[in-house]
Structure 1
Amino acid sequence: MIKVLIADDQELIRQSLKIVLSANKDIEIVGTACNGNEVVESVRKYKPDVILMDVRMPEMDGVQCTKVIKESYPNIKIIVLTTFDDDEYIFNALKYGASGYLLKGVSMDELVRAIHTVVNGGAMINPDITAKVFKLFSQMAQGDISIQAGTKKNTDDICDAEWNIIKCVGFGLSNKEIAKKLRLSEGTVRNYLSNILNKLNFRDRTQLAIWAVQTGVIRKMVTQK
């Protein structure tokens, strides 16, 4: 059972999502919140697996709330669900560790699929803003944008198997896809990823992916093949 917390300042949205998502036998809505502070309190109480996070909420907005939650609960997956596709919102939500960014026009089937995707270690981005994300990563790769994930890292302890994992993460593959590609179990992939994050002092796979692109690691590894 996937435990989901719904965060939105509009009661109609909260209740509608709760009713529709509760119809799925493998999803349990453990709570709802109308602002960022309530989200933090609800996370402590319910320990959800996934948070559906609105951007514009009173007291603490969804982007800042994402940052706060991921710092204290890095394993909780956050899907930003909003009407806003501003570059700044997208950029900061992904920077702070969101696993998904969807617009509220998304169908319920797509939302359910997104929940399952992020729980399994993948990411889900609305097709309408995918071009923005590709442009962002392209700019990072060219050095036009810098994300403070830390570009200077001691990579001496990274083994060949871990470099293969890093490359796959940089290309946006989920744990399941990495396991299939490298012929490993998902548990082994998770262990490798945990070790990599510890060695490079990153909070989550999003920071790792950004660093891999920003520093040119992906391009160098592809060139060396």
Structure 2
Amino acid sequence: MIRILLADDEAMIRAGVRAILAADDGIEVVAEAGDGRTAVELTLAHRPDVALLDIRMPSMDGLAAAVEIRRSAPDTAVIILTTFSEDSYIAQALGGGASGFLLKSGDPRELIAGVHAVAEGAAYLSPRVASRVIAELSSGPAARMGARVEARERVEALTAREREVLALVGAGLANAEIARRLHLVEGTVKAYVSAILTRLDVRNRVQAAIIAYEAGLVGPTPA
């Protein structure tokens, strides 16, 4: 059972999201909050698997709450669910440690898929958000060259096995899928991923996946 904390300052929105989540027998909403600070407090009290946060909330917005939750309850994954898709919000959310970014205007099936993905240790971006990230990564070869060189240097510090795991993280695979692909125990994969995040000095799998892309481990190898 995937245990969820749901935080949104609009009760009707919470009710709608709760109804969508209730359609999946493997998901349970264990706590709800109407502001960011309460969301952090309830996360510490209930230790949910996933915290689903709106961005604009009183007392503490969802972006700040995401940072605090990832700091104080690192086993709880964070998904930002919002009506806002500006690039600055995406960057702040991913930089703050969120593993998912979903739009309220998206297909309800995206919400279910996103919850399952991050609960399994993967990352999930709504298709519209993912297209923006990919466009940014793919734009301007000259502008991206510095990032690619830096990414390659950081990846070179990893062991061969860690690079192999990182490539699969970059491809969007969850820990269980990586374990099956590499014929490893899932706990071993989790340890590898934790070590990779530490050695790359990144907060979450999304940031690690971007480095994997920039370093040429995923998709077309940069020129």
TM-score normalised over the length of structure 2: 0.82
Moved more, 159-168 or 101-110: 101-110
Q: Which amino acid in the other structure matches residue 96 of structure 1?
A: G
- Asked whether the 8 Å contact 1:4–1:50 carries over to 2, the reply is yes
Cα distance between partner residues in 2 of 1:200 and 1:127: 26
Moved more, 169-178 or 77-86: 169-178
Question: In angstroms, what is the RMSD of aligned CA positions?
Answer: 3.0
The reply on whether 1:67 has 2:67 as its aligned counterpart is yes
Partner of 2:217: 218
Cα distance between partner residues in 1 of 2:145 and 2:42: 35
Per the TM alignment, residue 202 of structure 1 is displaced from its structure 2 partner at its CA by 3.8
Give the count of matched residue pairs: 218
User: Structure 1, unaligned stretches of length 5 or more?
Assistant: none
Per the TM alignment, residue 11 of structure 1 is displaced from its structure 2 partner at its CA by 0.8
Change (3 A) 1:99 1:135: same
**Structure-to-structure mapping, 1:13-24, within 5 angstroms:** 13-24=13-24
**Structure-to-structure mapping, 1:148-163, within 5 angstroms:** 156=157, 158-163=158-163
Partner of 1:203: 203
Partner of 1:190: 190
Per the TM alignment, residue 160 of structure 1 is displaced from its structure 2 partner at its CA by 1.3
Q: Which amino acid in the other structure matches residue 217 of structure 2?
A: I
TM-score normalised over the length of structure 1: 0.82
Cα distance between partner residues in 1 of 2:176 and 2:141: 26
The percentage of counterpart residues that share the same residue type is 38
Per the TM alignment, residue 201 of structure 1 is displaced from its structure 2 partner at its CA by 4.3
The reply on whether 1:50 has 2:53 as its aligned counterpart is no
Moved more, 29-38 or 97-106: 97-106
Moved more, 168-177 or 2-11: 168-177
Q: Secondary structure at the match of 1:218?
A: coil
Q: Which amino acid in the other structure matches residue 98 of structure 1?
A: A
Change (3 A) 1:121 1:141: farther
Change (3 A) 1:184 1:73: same
Change (3 A) 1:58 1:95: same
1:152-210 deviations in Å (ceiling 9; x for gaps): 75965x32111211222233332233234333332221121123334444433233333
1:128-156 deviations in Å (ceiling 9; x for gaps): 23211112333598655999xx9775965
Q: Which amino acid in the other structure matches residue 28 of structure 1?
A: E
Q: Secondary structure at the match of 2:217?
A: helix
User: Structure 2, unaligned stretches of length 5 or more?
Assistant: none
